[in-house]
Amino acid sequence: MPAFAEFYSAINGRGRDPFPWQRRLAVHVTMTEQWPAEVGVPAGLGKTSCLDIAVWWLASQADRAPERRTAPTRIWWVVNRRLLVDSTAEHAEEIANALRDPDSLEPDERAAAVLTSVARRLGSLSADPEAPPLEVIRLRGGIASRTPTDPSRPVILLCTLPLYGSRLLFRGYGSTLHAVDAAMAGTDSLVLLDEVHLAPHLRALLSALADCTPGAQTILGEARSRTRLAALTATGDGVDRRRFDLDAEDEAHSVVRQRLDAVKPMELRMETGDSARRLADATLGLIRDASAPATCMVFANTPKTARDTFGRLRKMMAQTTADVLLVTGLTREREAARIRARILDREHGIAATRDAEVGRQRHLIVVATQTLEVGADIDAEYLVTEACGVRALTQRLGRLNRVGRHPHAQAVYVHLPAPKVRRGTTGASPDTWPVYGAEPASVLRRLQDARGGDGSGTVNLSPRRVAEVLGSPRDPPGRAPEVLPGILWEWTKTTTPPEGEAPVEPYFSGITAPQYTVSLIWRVHVPEEGQRLWPRASDREAVEVSVGEVREVLGDDDLRRLAADGVTVETTSAADLRPGDQIVLPTDRGLLDGFGWNPTASESVVDTSLVGRGLPLDARAIERLCGVALGGLIGTALGIDDDGDEDVDPAERDEAVKEILTAVKAAPTPAGWDQAEWTGFTGTLTSLAVEARKEVPRLRAKRPTPESRSGEFDETSLSAAAVELEQHGMAVAGRARQIARCIGLSFDLTDIVERAGLLHDVGKADRRFQRWLDPEGQRGALVAKSNAPQHLWEAMRIAAGWPRGGRHEDLSARLVRAWLAQNSAWGDPVQRDLLLHLVISHHGKGRPLVPPVPDGTPAVVSGLVVGASVEAPADLALVDWDQPARFRRLNERFGPWGLALLEATVIRADHAVSAGANVDLEPGR
């Protein structure tokens, strides 16, 4: 195993050695086998390297037996800001790419050997020998976010606090497999919480959850059965004796010393009037006095103030050589990527890694909210900030002269009186500022006391002096509700969430300011009630906006919300919105511009879901897209004549499709689209029209981008090729066994997980389900998968007589119960309960019930279970009323997250095999 310094240098470049504190932290983690409670390192000194340490530590334990490992498999980087300009995510990708392809870094012989060794070690931990050694997942929003594909595979996940907290508490935003997400967040995980002061309640929550399940059996050993948290903070209070700080060796390091002493003179301005105007005026003054094109960061406390400041600066700078950008957390990935590229440009951007030798041609001004306080490796020459708290000011200063190469750096602190309290407002103090409460008053006094006596009116706030000048933070942490076992029990019921259950947000965000948001996406085609959304929603197209603001802006609109399955659309109103809802807006509703959410924007919004997918054959959708009215042609293309009859000649249909394609390609480039982007999209469209029940018909794209499938409708039974039922069960059993052994489950649990994988689909032996998968009976054997096109799937189900919403895993569990009744000596009560539960929950149901559907068939389902022929009623209207008690017993035995991990092992094994993974079926391997 290479030393940490060797690994760090191999990842980060030749001749780049770790700072002393980074090397010392790696030794500390290795020797104690745990992380310190806090890593208290000032901004600009490489806290991102904690990812390097965590990955290296995991690799160092790869030669241990899985049950003896203490290094977590999953590394979460959690921050309470949306990762917009996210150097942390970029660095995680750099680590993963270097391990996957060491030659891409052009390493010397030793560095190549180091990367190859670490990659081999990490790869040995995974059940999939063909998978890259390290996976990186960025959770961007509340819709259809990715989750780890294999519980045994090393992975770095980067997300905001709500995305992590909701997953931990079995209510993951946008998730249809809550138990899998909870297992990934609540077991075998290290949470690196960036700037813990932004999430004080998460640390308390993790310890409180352990108290709710006192008798639970750990299934991975004490070190990895629960999540471990390390706070990374430049602004901690320093009261925790387990805090890791800089020492004398760090102080003596030339680069560390340069950054600690980086000049940051701040001018204090006491103003009145409009905050946006004062921020813009201060910025303009700095830019006008600059001797050369320069960079300036402008921090506002709210998105509204940031938007107003941005608008003023664009007008003021219209006749100058200046670029003005706006960065808030209310931005889609499409627009965010473009902003990010401009900010991080190696020549003209503002990144700390920018080549300082390259001269600028234009000023660059970036107006931002707290989004850029954390996780952005930015090095500005000038800074303007609205009055704020100690922690926020410390973070904002960390973006000014970050690496100490701008001796001319300057900052302006704009303090305005607290807004007047509206008459009748309860609990409000007259000296309270938005976001930061009363703290700006004490910050003002400290800055006034520290001003120099030389008449300059400035305060030197270098990293070495900032804590001395500003003192300890005085922001109260606020309160969070107490987690009780009964509340946790309600959250574990993911199949049928109880009415009136406690919302999860206050438990990780606090009572005073819980983060209640909904996800908005914009589409040219908005389905009607009961229809299914196409393409499936993606987190890349979502913007998370507060529920209150959405209600204010869309108060009179009829809204389309995605149902619990994440696909079907239902009608709702703004008043009935719930945190975590996913709303589909028509693109011509506006409300979004090139810099994100903008309630005043009226221009049409680009539908980012279409690229690589196809064109909806819907007249209103095409008119929204490119302004072309094609109503009559659409009907003809779908085989419907002017009288509504479905007897159009096939040749007429083909000709109509060609005319539609010609009209769309000839249309002017729509607003918001780049010409190349539009040409690329229309150029991929084919004349193949696809119709699917409950979905909009469409023209397919060439080599369409695959869509995520939902287990809600049994779509995981679709496959590139038909697969025999017995073969599929054996393959899932083999992969489940591999995962179980890799993560370190006991022999008994591994045996049950393997058996559950073998039996999970035996209910597909039902005659109706077989007709659904293989209508012509061509296979001659029971099948588990069908290679039928997805758009025919619904029609095939109807023809086969399989009830809509019916669950084949319910029948699988009935057959397993019948087998257990014949084999009363097999297993103890816990093992029998667990086998049944893992079978019935392999699509996320059975927590605590599988919902019944109207059926009434008198038929039975027959199948082979461990070589024995058994049968059970096939009526899907029947309910297994023993399942809730079984589910409760298993939660008490293994804990909610332990049970969820056992479920995830079977579920992810099934997904891997369904996706075509190669599985070693040799016993004992």
767: number of Cβ within 10 Å = 16
Computed over every residue of the chain, the mean pLDDT equals 89
Matching residue, tokens 């103030």 = 305
3-state secondary structure of 511: coil
Task: Note the pLDDT tens digit of each residue in 291-349.
Answer: 999 999 999 999 999 999 999 999 998 888 899 999 998 999 899 889 988 988 888 89
Q: Which two tokens stand for residue 173?
A: 């935003």
Segment 506-511 shows an average pLDDT of 86
Task: Note the pLDDT tens digit of each residue in 766-810.
Answer: 999 999 999 988 778 899 988 887 778 888 999 999 998 899 999
The pLDDT assigned to 114 comes to 95
Strands 265-270 and 458-460: antiparallel
Matching residue, tokens 């597909």 = 764
* Lowest-confidence region among 31-35, 66-70, 627-631, 886-890: 627-631
Distance CA 529, CA 524 (A): 16
CB 513 within 8 A of CB 547: no
- Sequence-separated (6 or more) residues with CB below 8 Å from residue 520: 542, 543, 544, 545, 550, 583, 585, 591, 597
Distance CA 334, CA 874 (A): 48
- Sequence-separated (6 or more) residues with CB below 8 Å from residue 377: 48, 87, 351, 352, 353, 402
Task: Note the pLDDT tens digit of each residue in 561-593.
Answer: 999 888 899 999 999 998 889 999 999 999 999
Detail the DSSP E strand segments found in 741-842. Answer: 783-785
Segment 909-923 shows an average pLDDT of 79
Segment 489-518 shows an average pLDDT of 84
Using CB atoms within 10 Å of the CB of residue 856, give its burial: 0 to 12 exposed, 13 to 18 middle, 19+ buried.
Answer: exposed
Detail the DSSP E strand segments found in 175-294. Answer: 189-194, 228-232, 243-245, 265-270
Determine the angle formed by the axes of helices 200-211 and 161-168, rounding to 10 degrees: 10
Q: How many CA atoms lie within 13 A of 413 on its CB side?
A: 29
CB 567 within 8 A of CB 694: no
Using CB atoms within 10 Å of the CB of residue 700, give its burial: 0 to 12 exposed, 13 to 18 middle, 19+ buried.
Answer: middle
Q: Which two tokens stand for residue 501?
A: 């259950």
The pLDDT assigned to 448 comes to 92
Question: Which residues, listed in sequence order, are joined to residue 267 by a DSSP beta bridge?
Answer: 412, 458
Question: Which residues, listed in sequence order, are joined to residue 46 by a DSSP beta bridge?
Answer: none
The pLDDT assigned to 435 comes to 84
3-state secondary structure of 147: coil
* Lowest-confidence region among 12-21, 89-98, 239-248: 239-248
Number of helices (H), then strands (E), in the chain = 31, 28
Task: Note the pLDDT tens digit of each residue in 131-161.
Answer: 999 999 988 766 656 778 899 999 999 988 8
Distance CA 585, CA 545 (A): 13
Distance CA 122, CA 738 (A): 15
Confidence of residue 923 (pLDDT cuts 50, 70, 90): very low
Distance CA 138, CA 542 (A): 14
Using CB atoms within 10 Å of the CB of residue 295, give its burial: 0 to 12 exposed, 13 to 18 middle, 19+ buried.
Answer: buried
Determine the angle formed by the axes of helices 109-123 and 4-12, rounding to 10 degrees: 110
172: number of Cβ within 10 Å = 29
3-state secondary structure of 609: coil
Segment 240-248 shows an average pLDDT of 80
Cα–chain-centroid distance for residue 725?
Answer: 34
Segment 867-881 shows an average pLDDT of 95
Distance CA 114, CA 60 (A): 12
The pLDDT assigned to 924 comes to 41
The pLDDT assigned to 905 comes to 97
Taking CA 831 as the corner, what is the angle to CA 825 and CA 833, rounded to the nearest 5 degrees? 105
3-state secondary structure of 177: coil
Q: What is the DSSP letter of 696?
A: E
The pLDDT assigned to 650 comes to 85
Residue 424: is its pLDDT beyond 60?
no
Give the Å distances, CA to CA, from 252 to 246, 255, 262, 924. 11, 9, 15, 56
3-state secondary structure of 723: strand
Distance CA 881, CA 301 (A): 53
Q: What is the 3-state composition of the chain as percent helix, strand, coil, each rounded to the nearest 5?
A: 40, 15, 45
The pLDDT assigned to 628 comes to 92
The pLDDT assigned to 769 comes to 95
Distance CA 139, CA 24 (A): 31
Task: Note the pLDDT tens digit of each residue in 451-483.
Answer: 865 555 789 999 999 988 998 887 777 788 999
Q: What's the residue count for the chain?
A: 925
Give the Å distances, CA to CA, from 705 to 614, 700, 708. 9, 10, 10
Distance CA 636, CA 600 (A): 39
Q: Name the residue among 257, 797, 808, 211 with its Cα closest to residue 483.
A: 211
Query: CA Rg, the chain, in Å?
Result: 29
Confidence of residue 204 (pLDDT cuts 50, 70, 90): confident
Distance CA 843, CA 856 (A): 23
Segment 824-833 shows an average pLDDT of 96
Q: What is the DSSP letter of 863?
A: E
Matching residue, tokens 């108290």 = 211
- Backbone conformation region of residue 781, classed left if phi is above 0, alpha if psi is from -120 to 50, else beta: beta
The rounded percent of the chain whose pLDDT value lies above 70 is 92
Task: Note the pLDDT tens digit of each residue in 517-547.
Answer: 899 999 999 999 999 999 989 888 999 899 9
Distance CA 44, CA 409 (A): 16
